Structure 1
Amino acid sequence: MKTFVRRPEVLTRTGLSVSTLYELIKAGRFPRPLKIGVSAVAWDADEITEWQERCIAAQRDTSAAA
């Protein structure tokens, strides 16, 4: 079963600010929100977790190369 998370939880889980979140979305570097209602959006929790794992892997790859 899929879990959706709203923006406050996305910000808490990622540590991003609102402006950075939307900058990353615009740049195609963060999952786009899904429309879940007339005026409501949310993110797929699994996509947020995958993004976090990619960030960690990229950081470790960079650290190992140094």
Structure 2
Amino acid sequence: MNRPQTQSKKLISKADVLHLVSFGGTKLNELVKAKQFPQPIRFSQNFIRWDLEEVNNWIEEQKAARV
């Protein structure tokens, strides 16, 4: 069965993001605030998720920017 494209998006928690990028919550918050990291999706004040594809794309951009 084929899923529509919109259902294939995976949303991940802050803990999952921190595990992927290997830095702390303070650094993540700084980057988000400075618009240097994918912006979270806020469903409510305490329910925040990131799009996994956006986070993976950000990681790839960082790798490509290496000198």
**Shift of the alpha carbon at 1:37?**
4.3
1:52 maps to a residue whose letter is I
Structure 1 match to 2:20: 13
Quote the Cα distance in structure 2 between the aligned partners of 1:17 and 1:39.
Answer: 19
Structure 1 match to 2:3: none
- Higher percent of residues as helix: 1
Quote the Cα distance in structure 2 between the aligned partners of 1:47 and 1:39.
Answer: 21
1:23 maps to a residue whose letter is E
Count of matched residue pairs:
60
Structure 1: any 5+ residue segments left out of the alignment?
A: none
Name the TM-score, length of structure 2 as normaliser.
0.83
Name the TM-score, length of structure 1 as normaliser.
0.84
Structure 1 match to 2:65: 58
Please list every run of at least 4 consecutive aligned residues from structure 1 whose deviation after the TM superposition is greater than 6 angstroms.
none
- Higher percent of residues as strand: 2
Structure 2: any 5+ residue segments left out of the alignment?
A: 1-7
Q: What RMSD, in angstroms, separates the aligned Cα atoms of the two structures?
A: 1.1
Identity of aligned residues (%): 30
